[in-house]
Structures are given as structure tokens and as C-alpha cells.
Amino acid sequence: MKVHKEGRRILFVTILVLLALNLALYQFNRGAVLFNRIFAGVSVVAFLALLQFFRSPFRHLFTHEDLLLAPADGKVVVIEDVYEPEYFEDMRKQISVFMSPINVHVTRNPISGMVKYFKYHPGNYLVAWHPKSSTQNERTTVVVASDAGPLVLFRQIAGAMARRIVWYVNEGDEVNQGEEFGFIKFGSRVDLFVPIDADVKVELGQKVKGGETVICQLKV
């Protein structure tokens, strides 16, 4: 287990602030012993909660050119055929993974290939399970020409709490299945759009692990 690079500065600043507050209370509020102890306990719990959010556990990754792996930890909340208007402008199968605040928030390439399209969209912060969050919230869209042949679109979506999306890919990059392509701070959702004939391997409500759980198999 390690701390993700996106959280190191936040954790460092947080522990300095909490230490300063607790030292100030000890120095100037010595008479309120119970209050000081409660505040110290709350400080520890708050820091540990933040620490677990930025954890980056080791994953046993494997690669297979026609299998899509989960792009993030979380729960499958959408499996349906939809019209995808941004890039494909036709029907695609959408599979969405919702990330709660207690999930690991690293986002991973679901498949290997070349990035054919990338775009960042500023937007709103509707709750991540809202039907319009996929098209109205702050988000990134990545389209990869997979090594297996078919194009795959995946999208990071910010939610009501997640107000900071980080990405590490750009058009023209070669990406490797299971490697990090970004990070969403404080929970949200990742959508996958694959060909209609893709063989889905997960069910609604199923919990998945980024880089390990097989989401679907492409027809090649």
C-alpha cells in the first residue's frame, strides 16, 4: 500500500494544520482538557479518512487485447444500449462504474492501444448517479483505438463531491491496459462505451476492482 502522488501535498498540508491547531489548543486552552482530547481524536480520525482516500494499493494486473478491464474500483450502476453523441454519434453499449468516497480513486486504462481523441469538458457537479451527469458534469472523454481493433470510449465524470479531475493522457499517446490514466478526487463515476455486440461479463450492482475485474469482451 502506498499514498498516491495526487494526495501527498494535501496530506502534508492537512497534518501541518491539524498539528498547529492541536498545539494551539494545548497552549492556550489548557483548562478544557476534555475538549482538547476530543478535538485531538477527531483530528486523527479526519486525517486517517483522508489518508485512506488517497491510498494506492498494489494490483495484480494482466493484459489481454480483447478484454476490457474495470477502469476504477466501485460498483456497476449502468449497463444499457445508448446513443453516444460526442464522438461515435451512434448506438453503443454503456457500462458505468460508480466510485464512492471510500473506494480507491485511481482510474486505469481499460485496454491497450492509441489515444485517438481526448477532450476535457468543464461542467456542473450533479450527483454522479444522475442520468444527466454523463453529459453535463465536469468530465474528460478518451477514445482509444484498441490493439484488438474496436474503438473504446471512456469518460471520467466529476460528482457532487468530486471537483477535481486529473488525467495523464493526450491524443496520440500509446496506453497500456491497467496503467493509470488519471485520478478523480473524492468520488465519482467512470463510463465505458463499447460496441453493441461486446460480451458483458459483469452485472448491475456488482463490485469491481480497477485493473483486475473483466468488464466485457470485444468481438474481433
Residue 212's CB: how many other CB atoms inside 10 A? 15
Cα–Cα dist 70/107, whole Å: 9
Q: Checking phi first, is residue 74 left (phi over 0); if not, alpha (psi -120 to 50) or beta?
A: left
Residue 160 in contact with residue 127, Cβ under 8 Å?
yes
Q: Which one of the listed residues 43, 112, 134, 188 is annotated catalytic? A: 188
Distance CA 55, CA 71 (A): 16
188 is catalytic: yes
Which residue numbers are catalytic?
A: 188
